[in-house]
Chain A
């Protein structure tokens, strides 16, 4: 008989969960059942999940228990539950990307990320809520209603992956998969007091991700600890012949880096452009303290000038809509998804336009039209073409910075979680949430958000972002693990342990 009961089981880290399963203290089925119970108890208030696959989860957990009983050696996350962002296809399990257009769609295939998760013996609990097609910073643009921040249910959990971050933060799952096109893993991690990593572009396969902006999209891990994120990162990363942009190179040893917790001699850059107007004082305070902590731990701090980062946001909001307007053209009501207005007389083109107006939400329509505008003849050079040149300059700013330092550090997002509804009708103020995260997507490098503490002005989590050069993802885990350990030492616990009981 197990000494661990359900409420304890959901509070374990992924690494601990895997260990108690491997040691035979509990079964994978018991672990899965405990998380399904937790979802049943709190998700009516959090709304992290769009679909809970109870049957599939229990079957996957049973398979792990059977393989263990048969004496098989299983992977380091076997039996650990996970919440999958609903933009990642899962064979036989509904996948909507938060859109009415895909309501009830059941993919006939698994994304590579899904396949790797399943092969690692990780148990997929269900699909998490998100801004429609990953466009948004609050999860309010989901067609299925917003997700609520477990720290304050009246506030946003970030976006677009607010469901994945909220699932992890509310102890519904120790792990989740997110996707990050402009900050959709890191900004939700920041405002929910959790850990989120955007790997180097091409580090994790995009096959089976419903595409938003193909040159920017990247899937990655969400967790409550840096080590857990590293374990999941190691499980999903690697070359995939099904993604032509997948990197054919060894994955850096992120797990060893997370365990090293040593930043002595590391050179850390502070970007001077990531501060000032628009930054909440409590966020800046926790950020300054984190930089001081890094210095205490033996890192050297260098101020970095990145003059073109100020133009990363406008460049991004031209490049992203341009790619999105093209990618979302596939939703034409012909081969899958919603079809509206097919009355026997309307033409295919009319049905397409009626379907798209009925199926897309306001933010998707705005971005599709901005992208259509930026790509139209007469505007292309001034908008899309110029944005691509600015992208080059942002890449060069990073290259110069990484000649001087090993990693960059910044606040993840300028403010803590804002109230649901506050920015919904003001797209530009919503876009500012991604100010510090966007440059990494434009450059394709690796970045991470970890908790830096609670903001003294409102008591809500503040995120600390680290950025490493392409393919140097291990540096994130090294510095992230060290800061996490030092803060836990100072506080006597992880920040997430301070989250309110739901």
Chain B
């Protein structure tokens, strides 16, 4: 089990930022370490509730799979799909390299 006393170090913030794909600056790491600690200490109050035998609720309404009929219907055109792309080439999304230098 984890510790919910919730102070959070600068290194932990840096790790979270990596997981969340946020290239934070040094200033941001300092600032968020303090702020996230305050927020986590406050939300950790949920632990005060005795709820061991309580089922979790993930959604306000009971969810079931919803299927539509398997019929062809219009979607976006290629032009529409690419219209908001930061870069497109040959009718496709152009993305930066996805493999490492040595690959």
**Which residues of A are at the interface with B, using a C-beta cutoff of 8 A?**
105-109, 201-202, 215-216, 241, 244-245, 247, 308, 311, 314-315, 317-318, 325, 329, 332-339, 342, 344, 346-354, 356-357, 360, 365-366, 368-370, 372-373, 376, 378-379, 381-383, 385-393, 395, 427-428, 441-445, 470
A395 touches B46 (CB 8 A): no
B40 touches A373 (CB 8 A): yes
B38 touches A353 (CB 8 A): no
Secondary structure at chain A's binding surface: helix, strand, loop or mixed?
helix
B57 touches A201 (CB 8 A): no
Known contacts A215-B60, A346-B96, A347-B97; A369 and B44 CB within 8 A of each other: no
Task: List which B40-87 residues lie within 8 A (CB) of chain A.
Answer: 40, 42-49, 51, 54-61, 63, 65-66, 68, 76, 80-81, 83-87
What per-residue 1/0 map shows which CB atoms of B1-23 lie under 8 Å from chain A?
Answer: 11010001000010011111111
A470 touches B40 (CB 8 A): no
A376 touches B19 (CB 8 A): yes
Known contacts A318-B43, A337-B86, A366-B32; A381 and B2 CB within 8 A of each other: yes
A311 touches B57 (CB 8 A): no
Q: Enumerate chain A residues within 8 angstroms of B8, measured Cβ to Cβ.
A: 373
A389–B59 alpha-carbon span in the complex (Å): 11
One of A334, A365, A370 near B86 (C-beta < 8 A): A334
A329–B100 alpha-carbon span in the complex (Å): 22
Q: Enumerate chain B residues within 8 angstroms of A352, measured Cβ to Cβ.
A: 21
A333–B13 alpha-carbon span in the complex (Å): 23
A390 touches B46 (CB 8 A): yes
From residue A266, how far is it (CB to closest CB) to chain B in Å?
Answer: 24
From residue B40, how far is it (CB to closest CB) to chain A in Å?
Answer: 7
One of B21, B61, B83, B95 near A108 (C-beta < 8 A): B83
List the B residue with the shortest CB-CB distance to A317.
B43
A386–B22 alpha-carbon span in the complex (Å): 27
Secondary structure at chain B's binding surface: helix, strand, loop or mixed?
loop
Q: Enumerate chain B residues within 8 angstroms of A428, measured Cβ to Cβ.
A: 38-39, 42
One of A366, A373, A386, A395 near B35 (C-beta < 8 A): A366
B25 in contact (CB, < 8 A):
yes
A392 touches B55 (CB 8 A): yes
One of A311, A347, A351, A370 near B49 (C-beta < 8 A): A311
Known contacts A106-B84, A308-B49, A365-B32; A391 and B57 CB within 8 A of each other: yes
B86 touches A342 (CB 8 A): yes
Q: Enumerate chain A residues within 8 angstroms of B19, measured Cβ to Cβ.
A: 372, 376
From residue A18, how far is it (CB to closest CB) to chain B in Å?
Answer: 33
A357 touches B24 (CB 8 A): yes
B95 touches A334 (CB 8 A): yes
A325–B36 alpha-carbon span in the complex (Å): 15
B93 touches A365 (CB 8 A): no
B61 touches A470 (CB 8 A): yes
List the A residue with the shortest CB-CB distance to B76.
A108
Which of A244, A333, A386 has most B Cβ within 10 Å? A386
Q: Enumerate chain B residues within 8 angstroms of A342, measured Cβ to Cβ.
A: 86-87, 96
B22 touches A370 (CB 8 A): no
- Other CB < 8 Å A-B pairs besides A202-B60, A315-B43, A357-B23, 13 of them? A108-B80, A318-B43, A338-B86, A347-B97, A350-B96, A368-B22, A370-B39, A370-B43, A373-B36, A389-B51, A389-B56, A427-B39, A443-B60
A336–B19 alpha-carbon span in the complex (Å): 21
Q: What are 5 A-to-B residue pairs whose CB atoms are below 8 Å?
A: A334-B86, A338-B86, A383-B46, A390-B51, A470-B61
Q: Enumerate chain A residues within 8 angstroms of B99, measured Cβ to Cβ.
A: 347
One of B35, B44, B59, B93 near A314 (C-beta < 8 A): B44
Q: Enumerate chain A residues within 8 angstroms of B21, measured Cβ to Cβ.
A: 329, 332, 349, 352-353, 356
From residue B33, how far is it (CB to closest CB) to chain A in Å?
Answer: 10
From residue B98, how far is it (CB to closest CB) to chain A in Å?
Answer: 5
Closest 6 CB pairs of A and B: A444-B60, A388-B56, A339-B86, A336-B84, A108-B80, A389-B51
A387–B42 alpha-carbon span in the complex (Å): 13
B87 touches A245 (CB 8 A): no
Q: Enumerate chain B residues within 8 angstroms of A443, measured Cβ to Cβ.
A: 60
List the A residue with the shortest CB-CB distance to B25.
A357
Known contacts A347-B96, A348-B96; A356 and B23 CB within 8 A of each other: yes
B81 touches A108 (CB 8 A): yes
Known contacts A308-B49, A360-B22, A366-B32; A383 and B95 CB within 8 A of each other: no
A347 touches B22 (CB 8 A): no
A335 touches B4 (CB 8 A): no
B57 touches A381 (CB 8 A): no
A314 touches B45 (CB 8 A): yes
One of A245, A311, A369 near B48 (C-beta < 8 A): A311
A325–B68 alpha-carbon span in the complex (Å): 29
One of A334, A366, A441 near B36 (C-beta < 8 A): A366
B2 touches A442 (CB 8 A): no
Q: Enumerate chain B residues within 8 angstroms of A332, measured Cβ to Cβ.
A: 21
A385–B47 alpha-carbon span in the complex (Å): 10
A391 touches B56 (CB 8 A): yes
